[in-house]
Amino acid sequence: MVRGRPVDVPGIGLSVTIGDETRFVTDGVTNVEHALPVDSSTLFQLGSVSKTFTATAALALVDRGVLSLDGLVSRWLDPADLGDAAATLTLRHLLTHRGGWQGDWALFNAPRTRDASALRELMSMTPHVPRYATPGAPFSYDNFGYCALGAVIEAATGQPFDDAVSSLVLEPLRLRGTVFHADDAITRRIAAGHTLTATGDGVRAADGTEPWADRWPTRRALWPTGGVVSSLTDAMTWARFHLDGTTAGEVAISDPTRSLMQQPQTPSGGQGVEIALGWHVRYASGVRVLSHTGAAQGFFSLVLIIPERSTAMVILTNGANGPAVTEPTFRWLIERRLGLSLAAPRLIEPAQDPAALNGTYQAVSRTIRLRSLGTGRVVAEVHDTGPTSGGTRTAEMRFAEGDRLVGTDDSTLRMEFGTLADGRRWLRYGGPNPRAHHVAVPGKPRILDAYPPSAMLHSIAP
């Protein structure tokens, strides 16, 4: 098994492209209970990396003039379901996680329907999805919003989501090892996801007990946000296409549109400092790094591209502890192989009274309490509920430039803060690994089910 901290990762696929050279490395096993070696054609669930496929399919329809980035979503989805958002919600809002929903509600409430009506059924539940703000509000990672984007694709093409993505993206790029259905995967070598054992000192095959899954793969209604299953070979083909347009088949989107997908749209948090159209954006020595991670049922994946350095990397793991492998490998590529550096947050004296942030911030299965210690220090108590990420941790935070708080005892713990147009304060949480954030508003419905460790969290305080 691949050694990661604090537990083992059963199997991994790694591919790196720099210039014209691409290398593939695989190690470990597909399943600790029924071990087969991982190879470059082994299928892994990609989790939220699926959002890059959904975004690309939407942009393919923009290319064809079927959709418009700033066109109203209510042209395609029932305005009655969208409520007050019907008058302003656009495709760009969905692509950039600015629809205003507490998006992880979908992970705990998606219907179990297995046929092609699943996504439509989820959309009929839209009036029940809690909102933190109106469309166009600050970025908040939105799983429900990407399901809505998938529903727009269905409505615009007249096809089930998976068929539409296949015809718009997978078939043109000849991604024959990329599927959605378990039926399409069953004849291939498949990796099982792995989670911690009850004692926490090892791993076991995931059994589908997560709220958003019924065994394997993710529930069909959630496919636009996390349903793609793919191999290392196909995932690198995908990354190469987005890197520089390389394809052995036809192009899925035009070069100008592919470039547009990589342009930052608005400030964000968590996986990057800005969000583009389907990609998170951060910078290393001023060089733009586009990436997306994904977690699903004991899998963790990373796809990144660095156009200015003709570089792409894919890491697929079948362990929930995948970040223990992906994060140091990412830093090896950036810092040692490319000679770039990721800027550390610069601590500053707060421009406002630290006590102004005091309060309780709440979102889907997460509560954060901030308490000022004076002298620019804040104590953060982060409480997660549910079987997937329960527990409480406390950390001391310091103010950093860009309206941020960073942990003094854990450099990966970070938060951003701000104020909505109506005066409510918000807190965007990122950490303790580069997977996290979401949004909630006190006084609105609060969902306190299990919160997935792979999701992103925002919160808002009165």
Residue 97, C-beta contacts closer than 8 angstroms, at least 6 positions apart: 103, 139, 140, 141, 142, 145, 268, 275
- CATH, domain 1-343, list 3.40.190.10, 3.40.710.10, 3.40.50.2300, 3.40.605.10: 3.40.710.10
Angle at 156 between CA 152 and CA 157, to 5 degrees: 120
Lowest pLDDT segment from 226-240, 286-300, 357-371? 357-371
Distance between CA atoms of residues 74 and 80, nearest Å: 9
Please tell me if the domain spanning 1-343 has the same topology as the one spanning 354-461: no
**Positive or negative: CA dihedral 118, 124, 129, 134:** positive
Distance between CA atoms of residues 309 and 329, nearest Å: 17
Lowest pLDDT segment from 16-25, 168-177, 357-366? 357-366
Highest mean pLDDT among 199-208, 401-410, 443-452: 401-410
Domain ranges in the chain are: 1-343, 354-461
Decide yes or no: CATH 2.40.128 for domain 354-461: yes
Is residue 404 over pLDDT 60?
yes
pLDDT tens readout for residues 114-166: 999 999 999 999 999 988 889 999 998 899 999 999 999 999 999 999 999 99
Q: Which two tokens stand for residue 163?
A: 């068929």
pLDDT tens readout for residues 32-68: 999 999 999 999 999 999 999 999 999 999 999 999 9
